[in-house]
């Protein structure tokens, strides 16, 4: 199993550009998450999904959108990039409801100039 | 609002020394997890504690959940350079579908 994979690893955007961060997991996990991590800080939840077709907002959803058309994929969309969205973005998944471990991808480092 | 406060934010010690990282909240959590994150990688789970007063040991690491389930600590005995990393606590409520992360403690163990 590859686990949780994210692409791209790095990206530089200009203000106002849009992009999609890709996340795929091959563990057949129902729950998937998007976090952002600012330098030297903890993780903040952007959006999460408990299954295909179901998404919900986290702590910091403004400026982002998600979709979950399949169990495997959970892309994160930035429509109008702003410097405040410069961060490292992590995707994570877990099997289901409860105290399961969240498995994290390697992250995407995004810079908005 | 930071619901989980970690202290200290940064800790630099010599190999062989002991260290303790604290995770505090004014809110009650049904469970708490500790993750370690190395540069350029995602966090990896170390332990989950669910019962107030619970103590778990993982080799040289000792984790404790406070009696009131509002705080937790991570103690490392005889730290090694391989223990270097960012330690994150994360609390869950009720069904545990979402985690609230602390701000992290960056630990540097010098040889």
Over residues A54-95, the pLDDT tens digits come to 999 999 999 999 999 999 999 999 999 999 999 999 999 998
Closest CA to B65 of A92, A33, A99: A99
Q: Which of B8, B35, B42 to mutate to test the interface with A (most CBs of A within 10 A)?
A: B42
Q: Out of B41, B42, B50, whose CB is closest to A99?
A: B50
Identify the pLDDT of residue A98: 75
What is the Cα–Cα distance from A60 to A83, expressed in whole angstroms? 15
Closest CA to B73 of B84, B85, B57, B59: B57
Identify the pLDDT of residue B96: 64
Q: Percent of chain A having pLDDT more than 70? A: 99
Identify the pLDDT of residue A1: 72
Residue B45 buriedness (CB in 10 A; 0-12 / 13-18 / 19+): middle
Q: Out of A48, A58, A106, whose CB is closest to B41?
A: A106
Q: Which of A4, A43, A108 to mutate to test the interface with B (most CBs of B within 10 A)?
A: A43
Identify the pLDDT of residue A88: 97
Residue A49, SS3 per DSSP: strand
Identify the pLDDT of residue B49: 93
How many contacts does A have with B, using Cβ atoms within 8 A?
Answer: 60
Identify the pLDDT of residue A104: 96
pLDDT at B2 over 60: no
Banded model confidence at residue A2, pLDDT cuts 50, 70, 90: confident
For B28-77, the pLDDT digits (tens) are 998 899 999 998 899 999 999 999 999 999 999 999 999 999 999 999 99
Residue B71 buriedness (CB in 10 A; 0-12 / 13-18 / 19+): buried
Q: What secondary structure letter does DSSP report for B57?
A: E
Distance from CA of A18 to the nearest CA of B (A): 24
Identify the pLDDT of residue B95: 65
Mean pLDDT computed over every residue of chain B: 93
Identify the pLDDT of residue B109: 97
Closest CA to A11 of A84, A89, A101: A89
Distance from CA of B48 to the nearest CA of A (A): 8
User: Is B48 within 8 Å of A58 when comparing Cβ atoms?
Assistant: no
Identify the pLDDT of residue A82: 97
CA dist B88 → A96, A109, B45, B65 (Å): 22, 19, 9, 14
Identify the pLDDT of residue B71: 95
Q: Out of A35, A43, A50, whose CB is closest to B97?
A: A50
């Amino acid at each position: 199993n590859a686990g949780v994979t994210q692409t791209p690893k790095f990206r530089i955007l200009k203000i106002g550009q849009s992009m999609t961060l890709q996340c795929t997991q091959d563990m057949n996990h129902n729950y998937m998450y998007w976090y952002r991590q600012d330098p030297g800080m903890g993780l903040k939840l952007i959006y999460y999904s408990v299954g295909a077709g179901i998404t919900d907002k986290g702590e910091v959803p403004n400026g982002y959108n998600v979709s979950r058309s399949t169990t495997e994929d959970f892309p994160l969309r930035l429509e109008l990039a702003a410097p405040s969205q410069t961060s490292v973005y992590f995707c994570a998944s877990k099997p289901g409801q409860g105290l399961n471990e969240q498995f994290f991808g390697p992250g995407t480092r995004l810079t908005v100039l | 609002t930071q619901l989980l406060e970690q202290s200290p934010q940064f800790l630099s010690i010599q190999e062989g020394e002991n260290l303790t990282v604290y995770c505090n909240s004014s809110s009650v959590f049904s469970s708490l997890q500790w993750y370690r994150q190395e540069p350029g990688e995602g966090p990896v789970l170390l332990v989950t504690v669910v019962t107030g007063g619970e103590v778990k040991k993982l080799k040289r690491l000792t984790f404790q959940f406070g009696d009131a389930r509002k705080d937790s600590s991570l103690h490392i005995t005889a730290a090694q350079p391989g223990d270097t990393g960012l330690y994150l606590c994360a609390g869950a409520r009720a069904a545990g579908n979402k985690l609230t992360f602390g701000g992290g403690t960056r630990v540097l163990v010098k040889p």
